[in-house]
Amino acid sequence: YNMGVAYEYGTGVKKDMREAARWYRLAADQGDNDARFNLAILFYNGDGVEKDLAQAARYYRLAAEAGHPDAQINMGYITERGEGVGKDPAEAAQWYLKAAEQGKAIAQYNIARAYYYGTGITKDAKQAAFWYRKAADQGDTDAQYGLAYLYSEGDGVARDDLAAAKLIAQSLKGGSAYTLKEMSTNSAAWSRKFRVELQRILREEGVYSGKLDGAFGASTISAMQKYAG
């Protein structure tokens, strides 16, 4: 496995993806789950080996079934999309859940979305809120937006415009282009109280000096852009 890493990144040897793949395969076939994961990525991208989604899926699955959280996430992706395996949203949800339970923020976000939309799993807004919060607490800006939306709607959680505004502010500060776009072009979908609370936070953070009127005009949008960096 270490030789594979050395050849993949050119550490102490000349970078050679074919050699990296060869060493990863040797380690993978001896049961090394990091090697299985890395080899799966090479097969998925056709890097150092001929692109083969079925082989990528095979090695992802071996690592995922042994508990490798990143492999579980990628099994979620490929079963959700049907890449190298049959499309299966229910299986995808289970892989995301396994990785989420191991603390992976992106998996927590993905299982939250699955619960919210009922994709491959029984629709459950409370579970969506639970997993959005887990990912949001790790700084996932998409999850911060998702949880804010649930607070603004009172869906799966008690309605709380201040909590929603705080989460949107966190998402903006984290540099979320999606949140900035939504707040700039679709703020009317959010309550006036929410908008006033967000303006208040922006004022407290020293980026906004306009009125607390809930109107997201040029000065509010400029403040959000500044806050988002």
Instruction: Report the pLDDT value the prediction gives residue 69, as an integer from 0 to 100.
Output: 99
The mean pLDDT of 156-167, rounded to a whole number, is 99
Closest CA to 167 of 185, 179, 181: 179
What is the distance between the alpha carbons of residues 168 and 147, in angstroms, rounded to a whole number? Answer: 9
| CATH architecture of the region 1-87 | Alpha Horseshoe (1.25)
- Long-range contacts formed by 84-92: CB under 8 A, 24+ apart: 84/44, 84/52, 84/53, 84/54, 84/55, 84/56, 84/57, 84/58, 85/54, 85/57, 88/120, 89/114, 89/119, 89/120, 90/120, 90/121, 91/120, 92/120
Whether 74 contacts 99, CB under 8 Å:
no
Average model confidence (pLDDT) for the chain?
A: 98
What is the distance between the alpha carbons of residues 55 and 62, in angstroms, rounded to a whole number? Answer: 11
Q: What confidence tens digit (pLDDT) does each residue in 23-36 have?
A: 999 999 999 999 99
Q: Is 13 helix (H, G, I), strand (E, B) or coil?
A: coil
DSSP string of 19-74, one letter each residue:
HHHHHHHHHHTTT-HHHHHHHHHHHHHTSSS---HHHHHHHHHHHHHTT-HHHHHH
Whether 122 contacts 116, CB under 8 Å:
no
Determine the Cα angle at 159 with ends 156 and 165, to 5°: 110
Q: What confidence tens digit (pLDDT) does each residue in 39-92 have?
A: 999 999 999 999 999 999 999 999 999 999 999 999 999 999 999 999 999 999
Q: Is 116 helix (H, G, I), strand (E, B) or coil?
A: helix
Question: What is the share, in percent, of the chain residues with pLDDT greater than 90?
Answer: 100
What are the structural domain ranges in the chain? 1-87
Closest CA to 4 of 88, 157, 22, 48: 22
What is the distance between the alpha carbons of residues 2 and 21, in angstroms, rounded to a whole number? Answer: 12
User: The pTM is what?
Assistant: 0.94
